[in-house]
Amino acid sequence: MHLLVCGGTGCRASSSDAIVESLKSELAANGLENDVQVIMTGCFGFCEKGPIVKVLPDNTFYTQVKPEDAAEIVREHVVKGRKVARLLYTDPAKNEHVSDSKHMGFYRKQIRIALRNCGFINPENIDEYIARDGYQAIGKAITEMDPQQTIDIIKKSGLRGRGGGGFPTGLKWEIASKNKADQKYVVCNADEGDPGAFMDRSILEGDPHSVIEAMSICGYCIGASKGLVYIRAEYPLAIKRLKVAIDQAREYGLLGNNILGSNFSFDIELRYGAGAFVCGEETALIHSMEGLRGEPTVKPPFPAESGYLGKPTNVNNVETFANVPVIILKGADWYSSIGTEKSKGTKVFALAGKINNVGLIEVPMGITLREVIFEIGGGIKNGKKFKAVQTGGPSGGCLTEKHLDTPIDFDNLIAAGSMMGSGGMIVMDEDDCMVAVAKFYLDFTVEESCGKCSPCRIGNKRLYETLEKITKGEGTMEDLDRLRNLSQVIKDTALCGLGQTSPNPVLSTLDNFYHEYLAHVNDRKCPAGQCKSLMQYVIDPEACVGCTACARNCPVNAISGERKKPHEIDTAICIKCGACIEKCKFNAISIQ
Amino acid sequence: METVKLTIDNREIEVPKGTTIYKAAKSLGIDIPVLCYMDLHDLKVENKPAGCRICVVEVEGRRNLAPSCSTDCMNGMVVKTHTTRVINARRTVMELILSDHPKDCLTCPKSGHCELQDIAVRLGIREIPGQEFAEMSTYKKDFSPSIIRDVDKCIMCRRCETMCNDIQTVGALSAVNRGFMSVVAPAFEQDLEKSPCTFCGQCVAVCPTGALTEVDHTAKVIRALSDPTKTVLVQTAPAVRAALGEEFGLKPGTSVTGKMAAALRKIGFDFVFDTDFAADLTIMEEGTELLDRLTRHLNGDKSVRLPILTSCCPAWVNFFETNYNDMLDVPSSAKSPQQMFGAIAKSYFAEKLGKKRDELVVVSVMPCLAKKYECQRDEFKHDNNPDVDYSISTRELAHLIKSFNINFVDLADEDFDRPLGESTGAGVIFGATGGVIEAAVRTAYEVQTGKPLPKVDFTELRGMDGIRSATIDFNGLPINIGIAHGLGNARKLLDDVRAGKANYHAIEIMACPGGCIGGGGQPLHHGDSSIIKARMAAIYREDAGKTIRKSHENPYIKQLYEEFLGKPMSEKAHHLLHTHYFKKGNKDIFI
């Protein structure tokens, strides 16, 4: 019997280390320490209900486990074989417990390829990776195929870059392989920077060997003996596990000279990013690794021609790499049978926002947004109405009801005015103001622009300021025209992908929620009730009994009135903090 | 050569592979506006960060607009340089740049010479939409003895960075901060004076806006001129006369020595002298020092360090004091001509006038910004009175002439005053790279061999190559000469010297590309490096036209030694005309 405890960053933050310790000591107390193994795995994905403990072989899925639950799990489940019902997942639709994760709505439609080992193996134990066919793909490539044959499999599989660009991976490898040089480099882009996205981190934390193996395969294909992982310094756990994995791979002769007795040598080093979003752009990433300011340069030359230290360099994202070993082992046909015509395989998404099941999911390309949000995601929180879903990270677009049945793939998302990006998916409900949402994302891109090109450096700032003006109720119709023109010019003229996509939240909300902009500009109203400047707190004199509770709790003394007589709010002083509403027992205060 | 065929604005063109759209269009007479781009072809410097996005064009089949400065032509490309989409984008981007740029053009030092202003005029920008609620990025202003940084006016063209890092290898300037707040600045928010900056002024020479400008001393000069208790002397460096005319619409390479002397007299300087005189004096001291070191070296004196390095260039002095301060005994101890002039003016000439040194004000007109710093160095002061009071640039002199309502172009030529205004051709060529060493060779050869030179022109020492070397036959004794201009080239040469890989006897180094004619205080070349070559030709023409072309034959130099100094490297000469160097570093930045 195995007890798998989620060791992802989220669950660890909710004491999964302590859960492991408690389980171990409870097992020891029952004399079972040699019969039952407690393993800390990578992320299970269902972060909403973490920390997760899974019992094998019966696949029981315990949610929101606390260290003090360990005794009961051991006593009831391990010793007596009785599941602890109160810790099982409850299907909200049927209101009944589901014990096997396979039957949970969250997992039912998922196909886990990149995440195949996350939540199954101990990422710090290479033997567990090997036990799940790990390092067989590199073995197969080296011993049975030449580099071009290996590239052909990746090409035929239809795998496209998962970092956002969607460039065909096999083609990228082929270009790098054809450029002649004394030294080439394989770079893994682990500079995951989209707010709310954590797929790369989860893969590195949960299955680092899959990335190491894939980088070696890529090195074999393009003729590189050096690999570099560019990883954000803010990912200490991923860095630690990657380091452990690299050491173990070296120890097993799976990295280093003459891998598996062949002529192929390959080793990997880590490079740390200082947390600049733009360093996810491959030229900026390479400059950062070279010790230069992390800012992009014009392509061509592409890294495949002149990359790290001027040498041919192949840059792929973590998730892209994680797919590679499986494709080599199971074949291109198997992989390309999943997905849509032009987007093959699966995609990992980070579900966040006003959705019931926040977490990390991997679904086949072609699944609809509706399936993702309402089946896997369990619908909108608190029974509210769905309003929009923002895909593609901070520079993606906001899609609406009418896009819910669009099959998700690279091209459809772009056609709809958004993009795949690295797979962030943020769900919004009726309480979200779309102008404020656009402003929120611009705030991020203004902060993260490198400052090199004028449209991104200044243009995004001006977009932000205009949005702020509108949310303050000071916008004009000219501002709306200006927003659109400026957005289009920034897309048209910015130097790199960051700037070329940063106006997407503005354009897509202008397209899909123009009426909300009009309400702000013409009626000076925020339909969602989010923009403070457009709200007024009003006391209903009929309902107010003059208890003075509101006046006593107002931090800025904006409320006046005599005892037992209706009170009034001076809107010029009111800071709209909401303290009065909370204190009023008579529902006399409302927002207008 | 491999070529590609494409269409630009419906016209077919074939260009060598690797040609950018911008250059291909230019060859068709289509002038795409550029802002950050700069091509100093003769100096092999190209700045193309593709950052400003003013030069964007439409390329058929491409999703977005292409920066023409950095997009290579491809076979079959169809380019349109002025569709409505392009024009709208260019205007919008320009409005953005202006929305974050101060509007104090009236009092901006770059007004009238500002490339941003030129493009705003060309694109017809009349208002900046949304300016009233647009925040402006700000960064602290930085005042150094030579250069003022007002980076609120920085448009992130990165030209200064290219000059400072790639060409000069000084590394004082680089982009800092992110996004809207990004500017080019010294690391760790240091002031320029605390940074490794040498004050060479090449950043100022290429800055398209008023973000980098010289410290202006013209007001102080006017105040001195209007003070009846002061006798005001002016000295003009060799390179100034080869460039000043450009400020008055004269063709680059027009020598305006006589007009300049006339203008300075009209402005009211009491004595109009020439730094070329001091250049001749420098040759006497430096040439003698070279021969002295050489003779001792040949006689087996192991304490002698060779090569001897020239020390006329104050930016170069700053550079080796910072980067090669393990080799401070290698450069010549001779002061620069500017400082030799000041020292002689406030001693020898003051005595002649019967005045005290603080009754004299010495103004220098220099092609250089580092000279402003040099004349403020403590070792060049006596009782806190500097040998040279104010150093103004060629550009500042032009402003002075304009403000004094002088019709410069029509002025009749006049001569400099004597005794400190007489010079030889050897003094003139100090203004171009290779000139100082050629002047030194002219004198050293005759002093060493005791024979007249067979020919005065050493063309093997001239040219624009960054590093040059030649061996001059001193009557059977081969003397190896090295020359570098641009501090990046100087670094290469010095690294070889430090590593013992070079066997030069003497090396001339000038910090600015082309020598002083390309100095940071010269009229702005706006990226046209052919201007620098034209100035160089003017310098050598001036030399060729002189009757006396060797420093040791200057009669007033002879008189100076006879009446006052004794002989070169005498104790008095040593006291007045030689200096010593200091270790500079920036240890404190890490504390």
Instruction: Give the tens place of pLDDT for each residue, B516-561.
Output: 999 999 999 988 889 999 999 999 999 999 999 999 999 999 999 9
Q: Do B129 and A455 touch (CB under 8 A)?
A: no
Length of chain A, in residues: 592
Q: Do A466 and B130 touch (CB under 8 A)?
A: yes
Collect all residues of chain A within an 8 Å Cβ-Cβ radius of residue B56: 492-493
Task: Write a three-state SS string for B140-202.
Answer: CCEECCCEEECHHHCCCCCHHHHHHHHHCCCCCCEEECCHHHCEEECHHHCCHHHCCCCCCCH
Superfamily designation of domain A126-335: NADH-ubiquinone oxidoreductase 51kDa subunit (3.40.50.11540)
CB-nearest partner of A458 from B67, B89, B97: B97
Structure token pair of residue B214: 């010289």
Give A456 to chain B, closest Cα distance, Å: 8
Q: Do A298 and B180 touch (CB under 8 A)?
A: no
Q: What is the DSSP string of A192-256?
A: --STT--HHHHHHHH-HHHHHHHHHHHHHHHT--EEEEEEETT-HHHHHHHHHHHHHHHHTTSSB
Q: What percent of chain B has pLDDT over 90?
A: 91
SS3 B255: coil
Q: Is B7 an interface residue toward A (CB < 8 Å)?
A: no
Q: Is B165 an interface residue toward A (CB < 8 Å)?
A: no
Domain ranges in chain B are 3-82, 99-214, 219-577
pLDDT in tens, A552-586: 999 999 999 999 999 999 988 999 888 999 999 99
- What letter does residue B524 receive in the DSSP assignment? P
CB pairs A-B closer than 8 Å: 112
Q: Which among B153, B152, B157 is positioned nearest to B34, based on CA atoms?
A: B157
The one-letter amino acid at A89 = Y
Residue B589 scores a pLDDT above 50? no
Residue B490 scores a pLDDT above 60? yes
Q: What residues in chain A have per-residue pLDDT under 70?
A: none
SS3 B43: helix
Residue A62 phi/psi, 5-degree rounding, is -95, 140
Tell me the pairing of strands B308-309 and B506-510.
Answer: parallel
pLDDT for the residue numbered A265: 97
Q: Please answer whether residues B32 and B81 qualify as being in contact, where contact means their C-beta atoms are separated by less than 8 angstroms.
A: yes
CATH T-level topology, domain B219-577 = Rossmann fold (3.40.50)
From 3.10.180.10, 3.40.50.2300, 3.40.50.720, 3.10.20.740, which CATH number describes the B3-82 domain? 3.10.20.740
Residue B591 scores a pLDDT above 50? no
Length of chain B, in residues: 591
Collect all residues of chain A within an 8 Å Cβ-Cβ radius of residue B68: none
Give the span between the Cα atoms of A212 and B436, in whole angstroms: 61
> How crowded is residue A71: how many other Cβ atoms within 10 Å of its Cβ?
15
Structure token pair of residue B166: 């790639």
Q: What is the DSSP string of A520-561?
A: HHHS---TTS--GGG--EEE-TTT-----HHHHH-TT--EE-
Helix (H), strand (E) counts: chain B: 19, 22
Collect all residues of chain B within an 8 Å Cβ-Cβ radius of residue A492: 56, 64-65, 85, 89
From 1.20.1440.120, 3.40.50.2020, 3.10.20.600, 3.40.50.300, which CATH number describes the A346-429 domain? 3.10.20.600
Q: Is A470 an interface residue toward B (CB < 8 Å)?
A: no
Collect all residues of chain B within an 8 Å Cβ-Cβ radius of residue A497: none
CA B40 to chain centre: 14
List beta partners, residue A559. A569
Give the span between the Cα atoms of B68 and B91, in whole angstroms: 16
Mean pLDDT value of segment B419-441? 96
Chosen for mutation from B64, B86, B94, B209 (greatest number of chain A CBs closer than 10 Å) is: B64
Its CATH class, for the domain covering A2-106, is alpha beta
pLDDT in tens, B64-95: 999 999 999 999 999 999 999 999 999 999 99
CATH T-level topology, domain B99-214 = Alpha-Beta Plaits (3.30.70)
In CATH, A536-591 is 3.30.70.20: yes
Collect all residues of chain A within an 8 Å Cβ-Cβ radius of residue B93: 454-455, 459, 489, 493
Q: Which are the catalytic amino acids of B?
A: 286, 289, 312, 332, 371, 374, 379, 516
Q: Is A281 an interface residue toward B (CB < 8 Å)?
A: no
Higher pLDDT, B586 or A574: A574
pLDDT for the residue numbered B590: 46
When pLDDT is cut at 50, 70 and 90, the band that residue B147 belongs to is very high
Domain ranges in chain A are 2-106, 126-335, 346-429, 434-522, 536-591
Its CATH class, for the domain covering A434-522, is mainly alpha
**pTM as predicted:** 0.92
Collect all residues of chain A within an 8 Å Cβ-Cβ radius of residue B96: 454-455, 458-459, 462, 486
Q: Is B142 an interface residue toward A (CB < 8 Å)?
A: no
Q: Report the half-sphere exposure of A216 (CA within 13 A, side-chain side).
A: 33
Q: Do B49 and A452 touch (CB under 8 A)?
A: yes
Which residues, numbered 22 to 51 in chain B, qualify as contacts with chain A under a Cβ-Cβ cut-off of 8 Å? 49-51
Q: Is B96 an interface residue toward A (CB < 8 Å)?
A: yes
Q: Please list, in sequence order, all residues whose beta carbon lies within 8 angstroms of the beta carbon of residue A222, skipping any fewer than 6 positions away.
A: A147, A173, A176, A177, A184, A186, A312, A314
For the complex shown, is ipTM > 0.95? Answer: no
Structure token pair of residue A41: 């795995």
pLDDT in tens, B285-334: 999 999 999 999 889 888 888 899 999 999 999 999 999 988 998 999 99
**Which stretch of DSSP H or E encloses residue A474?**
none
Domains B3-82 and B99-214 share a fold: no
Give the span between the Cα atoms of A384 and B473, in whole angstroms: 94
Q: Do A462 and B134 touch (CB under 8 A)?
A: yes
pLDDT in tens, A475-521: 999 999 999 999 999 999 999 999 999 999 999 999 999 999 999 99
Give the span between the Cα atoms of A4 and A121, in whole angstroms: 8
Q: Is A489 an interface residue toward B (CB < 8 Å)?
A: yes
Q: Please answer whether residues B506 and B392 qualify as being in contact, where contact means their C-beta atoms are separated by less than 8 angstroms.
A: no
- Find the radius of gyration of the CA atoms of chain A: 27
The answer to whether the Cα torsion of A196, A202, A208, A214 is positive or negative is negative
Chosen for mutation from B178, B181, B183, B184 (greatest number of chain A CBs closer than 10 Å) is: B178
Q: Do B52 and A454 touch (CB under 8 A)?
A: yes
pLDDT for the residue numbered B586: 57
Q: Do A495 and B65 touch (CB under 8 A)?
A: no
Give the span between the Cα atoms of B181 and B179, in whole angstroms: 5
